[in-house]
Structure formats: structure tokens, C-alpha cells
Chains A and B, each alone.
Chain A
């Protein structure tokens, strides 16, 4: 720490007078991994881009960024271009748009090499192939000639890392490097980042909103809020005893895959309100308006980042101030001894926010949804004028689901596994291509229009993107009233229901006249939920309802869903790629791979004793927001990407990536290659589609 390779001090960035970064100090030691955490709009990405001088011309950058003592702020484009990609390299978030679409991957890496090294084209090309090999791209020589669109998201991110380390940089900046990726691919990419660091010895500034990723990667962590660092500490100390209420809230708001010692789940702790708009910061501490511990002095002056006195818990001997643990809070000493629930009140904590206990068993009730062997294929067309069918996409190829009244089924799977297609097939209320769908006890076979409309009121959906799914030109009251009007409800009923619904989801009835853009992301999702509840459905289909939201807001929505379910006796089909969220919300879970259900059962059972190798890999890939446990885990890393759903392999579709299959003897392998395993009972309510199911600890 005496000799930071990258030394950011007093960094400020504003866009046309609106501050985005307000005095950030960060010191990155040689070979160190510093995690920079914050929610969207906190200024973490802007900080990283400012360090490389990559902000648009409209940004006004002040303060100092020194690389080995050389000042980068205010340096000219020419001087910066000698540093970028050479001594400081960057890995961006969205690997699809980060490569120039018209150049081959290999050529783009060659360009990065030859910009800084005096190498012949042939030698640089050979080096590019080596780099692609290093980051685990199969057949690197062949793949170097591919264009970016021919790579999957994970492969592109690998190539991006290969390009970043091409010139052995001293510092790597990774801006949300795994955010757009599936969890098993995320695990691969984090592994590649570790390899890249081992090879180059570079220091890493890892920018992420995901506390789990940070916990597993970082040596030290800095937490950003409203353009400032509000807490920084070694990773263990930060997670064990955060001293800034915001950090505490953030940790409490993250749903966790692992239960506590008694197998119970803590209720999630939502942080009230929303981060301040950058142009309208409150006087004093920017977090004060959301902080239950705020006092008058918090609202007067903004606290400085200082070493907080004694640590509350046993991480340090009582009385010793840890010089590496800084917090910008006047009550930091007290906070260190508190748990999230002590600070942030959770409305209705008693019972309602906890699901039925693990031993509770399934409710004795009617099915609200029963799907058996559902399939849906899409034609693959080719030709400019006359389209001809050249193949099929087997989007859904054998899905079984059943949900009883008042039950929550979590449907998990990675992108392309057919989750959304399954939902839309159910919502069509029309006979499926194959298999059967029963909604509220009625088969969708032979429904008349009138029946279908009546049935539609019983099943409603909440969409992923709360902005795109609300008509921007309709006032919120009309949006919520729309399903009622579709069911021909009379005016009096609409006038009575709308305020009631808004209140139910935690919004002011007086806001019915406002338009969607006047609400924050979390509030918009509440509007979406109110709309879905308007016609008193018995089953709510939730399509990734919290994945577009920041973690502190997400917790509030999840709690709302749990409360509504307890109050209204709703059943949910909860689709998510986030297993921790499903763990928190669902009673039962269905795991999908390549359009098929591969494992089902009670959440507690499946997450504690996953039997299908895919479920095991999926669970093992989810990072825990707990550095100590995270370091102790061994990961099952799946090789490669899921195969294309256009080809339907014989036998088990998972075997190409299966860790169990790889270890089988040839005689037993035979069974996997020829027979597709059916979903078979594995004791009680637990089913798995695997010929060789075996328990394996993954958490």
C-alpha cells in the first residue's frame, strides 16, 4: 500500500454542472483486487472511465489520477493512448457491443498488440491465438478468424479479457464484467479473470453491483453512494462489520442462497426510498434521507471518510481503530455492532415475509396450473423472397409444472432455456403444440372466446422491464384500470378498485394522475403489480420481476410479493435466472435446461440436496455475499455454452457439459448417449431427469 500503482485522489466528474463523482479517493496497490460496489447511478462506472480518460467530451473531470506517479487527468489524447491498453486496460460490461462488428476477433486483438508493441503481423497473430487459448477459447486458431457476432456472450467476454491482457498491463479495470451473463458463464469469466491476473500480475479494479462477485474476488472493497466513497475496508471486515448504514442495508437487502445455521432465511431488508438525483443532492450526508439512524448533524454537513474508532465485533481487538477501515458516517462506531434488521425496519416482519417453513409440505389445495410435457418449436426460415424452412428451434421441449393454490413455484434456468416461451405458451390459453395445459382446473383445449376471457382474469402477468411494460402516455390510474375495463367492469367498480390497488402495493392513491416516468424503477414495478392484481387473479406469472432493479429496491418488491401472497392467497409462477431470489421467494422450484424440466421439488430440498448435475453446477456458480464462505467453496465449472436449441441431440441433452457424464465408464456413458432421461421421482416430491443422480454439496 505504500506504493499504489493507481492513485486516484479528489476525483470529480460533472456533466454540464450535474455532479456524477464528487471527490473520490482510491488507491490500488500493485497486484491488488479492489472491488468498487454501488447501485446504478452511484458513479462507479464513471470513476473507472474517468481514470482512463474515456468519458465523453461533455464530462468535466477534476482531481488527480496517477499511474505510477504520472498524472493522467488533463493529459492529451496522444499521451493517454500510450497508456491505455498498454499499462491500464479495460474490460467492459456488454461484450456484444464492445467489439467492432466488422472486424475479426483475432484482428482486433492483433490491433491491440501492434498499437503498443513493435511486432510483425504474423507474430502478433500468433500471440493473439495464444491469448485466446489462455482465456479458454476452444480451437483458438480457428476462432480468431470469427466475427464478434459468431461468438456467444461468454466467449466474447473471454476474448475481451484476452485483448485487455495482451500487453501485460499493470492495472485492469473491469466494469461490471459479468453483469450481462448467465450465472454459470459468470463463474467461468470470473475464473478467467483470476487466470489473467495470475499471468500478468496486474492489479484489478472490479466495478460491480453484485456483492457476491465482489466477496469472491476482492481483497479490499470500496462502497460508492451518490458519487462518493462512503466506506472502504478489507473485504472480510466490510462484510462482517460494515460501519456505514448504507453498506449494512445493502448487505441486508441481498437475498442469499445459503440459509443461516437453523435453516431459516432472514427477511430481506429493503432500504427505504431511492438514491438522490445527482442534480438535487440533499445538504449533509447524501444517504441521510434514507437512513433510519440519521440525526440532525447528518443533515448539516457531509461526513468525511475517516477511520472509525473501535470495531464493534470481534474482528479487531476492542478499542483498536483499523486504519484500513474507513467510513463516512458520524455514527460508524455504533453501526459496526448492528445487524441490518436492527437498523432498517421491515414492515410486517412477523411471519408474512417468511415462506412456509421447509417442513411444512405442500398445501392441500386445487391446482391452479398444471402443465404436462409442453413443447413449442419455431421454424427456422431462410431465403430473401421465398422463405423455406431449414430447421426448427426447439424452444420448449418437454416442460412439466404444477402449482397449487397459494403456492409459489420458482422456474429457473439460463437464457435460452425456454422459460419465457413456457410463460407465453401458458398465457396464450390455446392448445399447445404438444402436451397439455390446465389453468385453474380447466384444460385450454376447446375454450370458447368467452371462456378464455374469463379464465384470463384468473391469470395475470408482471413483466421484467417496468418501464417498457407501462404505456408512457397513460396515467397510472388508467394503466391499473385497464385489465378491469377489459373484463367490462363498470365505472363505479373501477373508481373504487384503483385507489385500493395503489394502496395495496404501497403507492399513494393520489398518484393515480401521474405518468409512469414520474416514478422510480421500484415504484413502476409496483404499478405493474397493481395492474396484475386488478382483476383478482388466483395465479400471478412473474417474469423476472426484479432483475431490472437495484438490490436495495429489489428487496422491497420481493417483500411486497411475499406479503401480497400471504394476504390474498395468491399462487405465483416466479421466473428468474437468479437462484438466490428464487430461494427466498419460492416454495417449490423447477429447473430448466434446453427447453426441458430437469429437476423439481421443494426449494429447501432441491437447494440443499440437488440431484441433477446441472442444478448442482447452477447452484455452485452462484456467488455468496460472504467472503469467508465464498473462498472455502469449490466450484463446478461447466465447460462451454449450452448447445444450440436447433439441434436435438440423442440421449441426455446435458451430457455435453455434464461433470457426472465425463467421469462415467464407457458402459454407463452409453446410457446417457442413447436414452433421454425422464423426470423420475427421487423420494417425496423431488424429481430429477438424470440416469445417475447423486448428492453433492454445492454451497
Chain B
């Protein structure tokens, strides 16, 4: 198992390097930091623009590979460079990474687990009313864009708050500014703020996973080994959980890593709508400001997240299916 994980990890590190190189090349060629400075009022002197660009390491007169070499030399030492406003990318990264992870993790993890359960449950109850309701619900959710879903959730929360006459559900930012109270009050406040953003990510994840899980589970339900498990005296419920669900989860683990990227992209809207200052917001802002180093930092973050989830998926796969550890 350890050897297998190490091999996969090595493979992902190689992929990460490729991803970082490609995103640097793309950001450095597509973005125009010079134009950003030249558009300032009053227009700065060309020499000052050149000096600033050189200082930031994003001067378009320097050959691309030199710029990349310069950036990479710092990056390996943990320095991701300066933003276009000459602040530290590392500081900005540190402020935002936690926000994004909280947002992504709660929604995806809860969504994945619930989606798998919903899928397995509906497969067992194929063509019954509950199965049909979940199916219709999933398709509705899947055909709703993230931003529309987020706005609808917001409107729903406002209506609910008005009806109850309290501020039960808060959805702007991560915390209530100026909140007093102990550790418990702060934790509760954060949880309340997390509710709607996580729902908007989680609901779509549930919808996607339940569809896939339903079809893999249906394959397993007709399998001979499930019948064998019952024939040796397991109750249907036990056979389904021990022999059915485990086997049906195996193909899902591959899907897990790919889905994470979609969630990350969707989270850009979620952050904006709920006023969270995470990586997504930073990415959109940086592209607008032609901020090469910040864009590369966010892209690298996305690559790390996706490849890490790929590694988690591999570990899950190996845990569920011991055959691949032994081959």
C-alpha cells in the first residue's frame, strides 16, 4: 500500500510541475501588466513602468524562460513573488487559502457522502416514488447554474429571516463583524455563515454524485456475487452494505478527483455572491489587473487541490479494492 501511494504521489508531483509551468506560460503571455500601468492616471513615465515591471519580475521585454526561471528560483524557496500592487503574494495567499478550503471542504465532503447515500438508496428503490423524486430533484439542481442557485438560496434565507423576524441565517462574509462572546459563540457564528455557501456547493455535488452512484449501484444490484452473499445467509440489507456498496464505490473514487475541479470553478461564484474573500475572488480580481504572479499562485493552488484530491481518490480506490495493491 505504502509503495503504491508513494508511486502515485510521485506521479502527481510530476503532473503538478507540468501544471505550474503551463499556467505560468499562459498567464505570462496572455496578461499585459504593462498595459495595466500605462492606463494609470496620470500616465507614468515609460522608464518608471519598466522599472516597476522589472522589480516585479514581469517585464515583457525579458525572455519568457528568464522570467520563469526567476519566478521558479524564488518559488522553490517558498516565495511566490509580489503582486502587481507590490504586496507579497505569500501574505495574500495565506489570508485567502483558509477561506477557500473551509468553503470547499465542508460543501464537497458533505455533498459527496450525502450524494453517495442518496444514489445507493435510490438504486435500491429503483422506479419507486422516492427514486423518481430524487431523480427529478437532481436534474433540476444540475441544470441550475451555481450563481442562480446561490442567489435563490439567499432570497430564501431573507424570506425566512423576515418571516421569523430574526437574523437566523446570516450569509454575508465569514463572520459577523464585532461579535462578542466566547469560543462557542464564534464557532456558532461561523457555522451559520457557512451554511448557505456550503449548501450551494453541496447541493450540486449531491445531485452529481447521486446520479453516478445510482448507476454504479444498479450494476452491482444485478450481480451474481450479491446473490451469493444472500445465498450464504446474509440479510439483504447486510449484503447490500458489505458486498454491494463497497464494490459500487470503486468507480466513484476516480470521479472524485475530477469533480473537485468543477467545484473549485463553481466556488468562484459562490465566494463573490456570499462575500467571501477566497481564492476565487482573488483570481478574478488578479486577471482584471493583469497580475501575473497572483494568477499563477491561484492556478497552482487549484492544481495542488485537484491533484491532492486525485491522490486521496487513489488511496480510497486502493482501500476499497485491494486487488490493485496486489497487482
Contacts and interface: CB of A to CB of B under 8 A. Distances in A.
Contact of A77 (B235, B243, B323): B235
B233 A100 contact: no
Contact of A101 (B229, B236, B323, B326): B323
Contact of A115 (B232, B237, B246): B232
B225 to A, nearest CB: 4
A607 interface: no
Q: Which of B233, B243, B320 has the most CB of A within 10 A?
A: B233
B247 A54 contact: no
A485 interface: no
A589 to B, nearest CB: 35
Given A92-B228, A102-B320, A85 B247 contact: no
Contacts of B250: 102
A377 to B, nearest CB: 23
A97 interface: yes
A528 B4 CA distance: 49
A92 B233 contact: no
Contacts of A82: 233
A84 B236 CA distance: 12
A654 interface: no
Given A98-B225, A102-B250, A89 B231 contact: yes
Given A97-B224, A101-B225, A111 B247 contact: no
B321 A98 contact: no
B18 to A, nearest CB: 13
A102 B323 contact: yes
A99 B227 CA distance: 9
B223 interface: yes
B234 interface: yes
B178 interface: no
B52 interface: no
Contacts of A149: 323
Given A102-B321, A147-B322, A92 B227 contact: yes
A84 B323 contact: no
Contact of B233 (A85, A94, A99, A103): A85
B232 A77 contact: no
Given A94-B224, A97-B225, A147-B322, A102 B247 contact: yes
A102 B324 CA distance: 10
Contacts of B243: 100, 103
A52 interface: yes
B225 A84 contact: no
B232 A85 contact: yes
Nearest to B221: A56
A98 B224 contact: yes
A84 B233 contact: yes
A78 B237 CA distance: 10
A99 B228 contact: yes
A116 interface: yes
Contact of B232 (A97, A101, A102, A163): A163
A167 B234 CA distance: 14
Nearest to B126: A57
Given A99-B225, A100-B225, A101-B225, A90 B231 contact: yes
B88 interface: no
A149 B234 CA distance: 23
A576 interface: no
Contacts of B323: 101-102, 147, 149
Contact of A81 (B223, B235, B247, B320): B235
B230 interface: yes
B236 A77 contact: yes
Given A101-B247, A102-B320, A84 B231 contact: yes
Contacts of A90: 228, 231
A82 B231 CA distance: 10
A261 B237 CA distance: 59
A86 B227 contact: no
A90 B228 CA distance: 8
Interface in B187-244: 223-225, 227-237, 243
Most buried by A among B225, B237, B246: B225
Contacts of A54: 227, 230-231
A240 B210 CA distance: 59
Nearest to A149: B323
Nearest to B321: A102
A144 interface: no
A112 interface: yes
Contacts of A98: 224-225, 227-228
Interface string A98-124: 111111100000011001100000000
A147 to B, nearest CB: 5
A116 B326 contact: no
A67 B243 CA distance: 27
Nearest to B247: A102
Nearest to A93: B224
Give the residue among B224, B232, B247, B320 with the most A Cβ atoms within 10 A.
B232
Contacts of A160: 228
Nearest to B11: A384
Contacts of A84: 230-233
A218 to B, nearest CB: 22
Given A97-B224, A101-B225, A101-B247, A112 B326 contact: no
B326 A147 contact: yes
B230 A102 contact: no
Interface string A33-57: 0000000000000000000101000
Interface in B263-321: 320-321
Interface string A67-79: 0000000000110
A115 B247 contact: no
A77 B250 CA distance: 27
B229 A100 contact: yes
Nearest to A53: B230
Contacts of B230: 54, 81, 84
A99 B231 CA distance: 11
A149 B322 CA distance: 12
Interface in A121-168: 147, 149, 160, 163, 166-167
Interface in B26-42: none
A111 B232 contact: yes
B98 to A, nearest CB: 35
A88 to B, nearest CB: 9
Contacts of B224: 92, 94, 97-98
Nearest to A109: B232
Nearest to B231: A90
Nearest to A56: B222
A146 B247 CA distance: 17
A89 to B, nearest CB: 7
Contact of A112 (B225, B232, B320): B232
Contacts of A100: 225, 228-229, 243, 247
Given A78-B235, A115-B234, A102 B326 contact: no
A508 to B, nearest CB: 37
B233 A112 contact: yes
Contacts of B235: 77-78, 81
Contacts of A166: 232
Interface string A651-680: 000000000000000000000000000000
B246 A102 contact: yes
Given A97-B223, A102-B246, A52 B231 contact: yes
| Complex A-B, nearest 4 residue pairs according to Cβ-Cβ distance, in ascending order | A85-B233, A85-B232, A112-B232, A97-B224
Given A100-B247, A111-B232, A149-B323, 16 more contacts: A77-B235, A81-B236, A83-B233, A84-B230, A84-B231, A89-B231, A90-B231, A97-B225, A99-B228, A101-B247, A102-B247, A103-B243, A112-B232, A160-B228, A163-B232, A166-B232
Interface of B: 223-225, 227-237, 243, 246-247, 250, 320-323, 326
16 contacts: A54-B230, A77-B235, A81-B234, A81-B236, A85-B232, A90-B228, A97-B223, A98-B224, A98-B225, A100-B228, A100-B247, A101-B321, A101-B323, A102-B321, A104-B322, A115-B232
